[in-house]
Amino acid sequence: MKYGFDNEKYLRIQSEHIKERIAQFGNKLYLELGGKLFDDYHASRVLPGFQPDSKLRMLSQLADKAEIVIVISAFDIEKNKIRNDLGITYDEDVIRLRKEFQSRGFMVGSVVVTHYNGQSSADAFRQKLARIGITTYVHYIIDGYPTNVDLIDSDEGFGKNDYVVTSRPLVIVTAPGPGSGKMAVCLSQLYNEHKRGIEAGYAKFETFPVWSLPLKHPVNIAYEAATADLNDVNMIDPFHLEAYGKTAINYNRDIEIFPVLNALFEGIYGESPYKSPTDMGVNMVGFCISDDEACCEASRDEIIRRYFYALNRMACGDCNDNEVNKIALLLKQAKIDLSYRRPVKAARDRAERSGVPCSAIELADGTIITAESSTLLGPSAALILNAIKHLAGIDHSVKLIPQEMIEPIQHTKICHLRSINPRLHTDEVLVALSVLSTTNDDCLHALECLPQLYGCQVHSTVMLGEVDHKIFKKLGVGLTCDPVRKV
């Protein structure tokens, strides 16, 4: 894998920058966390070298100064909203997040239920949290939010909300997903802290778009592709340009809301501490890119990956063609087409010749390995075997898993587990290899090459099942699929 990001530098300078912002506001800062605190695979794909838990590791350096407040919207509780990446509801994720944070040494102070209007599902959730010892607060729907500044900045607005009791200089406000009301919780706390004579500040910690990179830099275009379903648009921050004469990149929602935020800050403090939405951020990720071209290459690949992901979602009826069309336009802005991703052409060429589903992987040295579906193996399972045999220097003709071992597994799948597809999936192949590795050196050496697949890119000419998706994700492999259902 070609690295383009200095992770150690990031851990160092990002934590120092947050400390400076805490000091700027008299040792009390509410930090709104945008995006994912851990499992940030988008960042690790477009900034090769960025670790998925980098933000959490960075904040761990501030753990003794920090506490975490988790926010969830009563609307999301009522709708049983699902996190698509994890397949669990937002209310379940609140409990998961709390456990994850505590296991890593963070203090989780409380949970805030926002948009509360007496919903019975929200009441039941609060009772559940109370039974397991979690303190909860409620913040109410404010008529005219966020534009009715006079009402919001009053005892009938923010003053009506529960005051969230915190005890540490840094309060990290996070949530299971977007639209939870994190910013409103931060602003409400500023109002209520000010009423109590406590001066506190607000900042936003969001990785993308990267404000210090050009507007049409592939890393920033990849962010637009990743949020195509939200219709986010990267823009030059006009407030920053006017205040400082310098170009900085932000996105439409933050730019559109800034005049309102400015008025809210003025209502609380008497004057706003910020001249632009970019000023509110603390993101230093752009200063830790060590190889710009490596990040550009990875980001272009990510834009294509997002395009295929949108095509797959549309094929399953989960989105309309607006999302697909937007990413198609972003491909043109990045001046690339699908042929930029080399495994796509290789897999499609083999499928055209063979007439069966095929897959291809580009290894770290640029070697392309392909595979096709057979009566014994699916295209993904066959591809992993072909790839690790190549990496281990094992001749392609060698059968690592003998047919007499595959057939009993297929019999169990069909006859006892009632599976329709008899072919072995990636997880079944890896388990079989593991069993054989105790007596077969080729299998052992092939398995030892699995880590070399990290960062490699795969394309399949058919949509894969959940099992194969999870295996490739665990191996750190970037996967795309044509929007074709398996026969």
Would you state the pLDDT for residue 319? 82
> Which residues are CB-neighbours of 410 under 8 A, at least 6 positions away?
376, 422, 423, 424
**8-state DSSP, 48:** B
Residue with tokens 């070298």: 49
In this structure, the number of other CB atoms found within 10 A of the CB of residue 238 comes to 14
Q: Which residues, 6+ apart, have CB-to-CB distance to 429 below 8 Å? A: 377, 381, 384, 385, 401
pLDDT of residue 487: 56
* Chain position carrying tokens 């403090």: 269
Co-location of 122 and 244 in the same domain: yes
How does strand 358-362 pair with strand 368-372? Answer: antiparallel
Domain that holds residue 452: 341-481
Q: Number of folded domains in the chain?
A: 2
Q: Where are the alpha helices (DSSP H) in 355-402?
A: 379-392
**Same-domain check for residues 284 and 391:** no
The answer as to whether 170 is a domain residue is: yes
320: left (phi over 0), alpha (psi -120 to 50) or beta: beta
Residues 6+ apart with CB under 8 A from 298: 4, 45, 46, 47, 48
Does residue 282 share a domain with residue 353? no
The CATH number covering residue 438 comes to: 3.40.140.40
Residues 237 and 350 in one domain: no
Note whether 390 and 280 are same-domain residues. no
Instruction: Confirm whether 256 is domain-assigned.
Output: yes
pLDDT of residue 229: 87
Answer yes or no: do 101 and 233 share one domain: yes
CB 290 within 8 Å of CB 330: no
Domain boundary among 264, 288, 312: 288
Instruction: In whole angstroms, give the CA distance from residue 272 to residue 275.
Output: 7
What pLDDT does residue 37 have? 79
* Residue-level pLDDT at 342: 96
Residue 162 CA to residue 183 CA, distance in Å, equals 15
Helix (H, G, I), strand (E, B) or coil at 200: coil
Q: Considering the domain boundaries, does residue 334 fall inside one? A: no
Closest CA to 50 of 9, 106, 104, 100: 9
Tell whether omega for the bond before 209 is within 30 degrees of 0, i.e. cis: yes
DSSP single-letter state for residue 36? -
Helices (H), 153-291: 182-195, 218-226, 238-244, 252-269, 277-280
Is 12 a domain residue? yes
Same domain, yes or no, for 16 and 133? yes
How long, in residues, is the chain? Answer: 487
333 domain-assigned: no
Q: Quick one: 263 and 120 in the same domain?
A: yes
295 is a domain residue: no
Q: For residue 36, what is the domain's CATH number? A: 3.10.630.10
Domain match, 144 and 280 both: yes
Same domain, 276 and 404: no
Q: Which long-range contacts (CB under 8 A, 24 or more apart) does 196-199 make?
A: 196/163, 198/28, 199/25, 199/26, 199/28
- Same-domain status, 264 and 375: no
Residue 487: exposed, middle, or buried by beta-carbon count in 10 A (0-12, 13-18, 19+)?
A: exposed
Inside any domain, residue 301: no
Picking from 344, 91, 34, the residue whose alpha carbon sits closest to that of residue 208 is: 34
Determine contact, residues 312/481, Cβ cutoff 8 Å: yes
Look at the block and give the residue holding tokens 């006892």.
416
With a cut of 70, which residues of the chain have pLDDT below it? 487
Whether 256 and 401 map to the same domain: the answer is: no
Of the candidates 251, 271, 288, which is a domain's last residue?
Answer: 288
Measuring CA to CA, which residue among 193, 220, 177, 165 is closest to residue 77?
A: 177
Has residue 293 been placed in a domain? no
480 three-state secondary structure: strand
CA 383 to chain centre: 27
Instruction: Write down which residue in 245, 273, 288 finishes a domain.
Output: 288
